[in-house]
Amino acid sequence: MRSLIGLTKGWAGKPSHPPLTDASIGAYTVGVAMLVAGKIGLQTPQMAAGSLIAISGGLLLAAPTALTGLLDWLELPKGTPVRSVATAHLVAMVTATVLFAITWLAQRPGYNHGDVRTSALVLGLVAGATLAAGGYIGGAIVFVYGKRVLGREETPAADALVPGRAAQADDGIDVRYRSE
């Protein structure tokens, strides 16, 4: 079971959560951009359909993204600042996902009728802002606290590109980036 969890999480220096967040954030962003474009009259029927398809992609990616993030969150020491920041990130991202699900429901009739629903546009913009805030908070986990980052500049390129090879012999326990 531990190896399945390890495989799901990825390796130190090659975690699974960040690329999944990139894909889901990209899908949601395209969906909101299409809602805006369709509402201002650019290819409205196509944007009405495309927005729902893009948001659907983000929602499909939500489960594996959340799972990998939760596995990372569970390893953070309780009562630490990084755990507090990660908890705020978790709440923001779950809120954004729920808002995107509601956006999807609001836009579903527009998909059938070839128009962008105003309620979907407003919800999508709020969901997008929540998503951006959650992503900003999540960035602090990596760029301030250095979680799941190895930061070893001396690692040979061949080792850096192979998952797990650059991890320490201690099975990839977090190594903080230090710029010395």
CA 139 to chain centroid:
10
Q: Please list, in sequence order, all residues whose beta carbon lies within 8 angstroms of the beta carbon of residue 16, skipping any fewer than 6 positions away.
A: 8, 9, 10, 64, 68
Question: What is the residue whose two structure tokens read 């908070």?
Answer: 137
Model pLDDT, residue 171: 43
**Alpha carbons 146 and 53: distance in angstroms, whole number:** 35
Q: What is the pTM of this model?
A: 0.83
Domain boundaries along the sequence of the chain: 2-149
Per-residue pLDDT tens listing for the chain (180 residues)? 667 777 787 876 778 898 999 999 999 999 999 999 999 999 999 999 999 999 999 999 999 999 999 999 999 999 999 999 999 999 999 999 999 999 999 999 999 999 999 999 999 999 999 999 999 999 999 889 888 777 766 777 777 777 777 764 334 444 443 333
Question: What is the residue whose two structure tokens read 């979680």?
Answer: 147
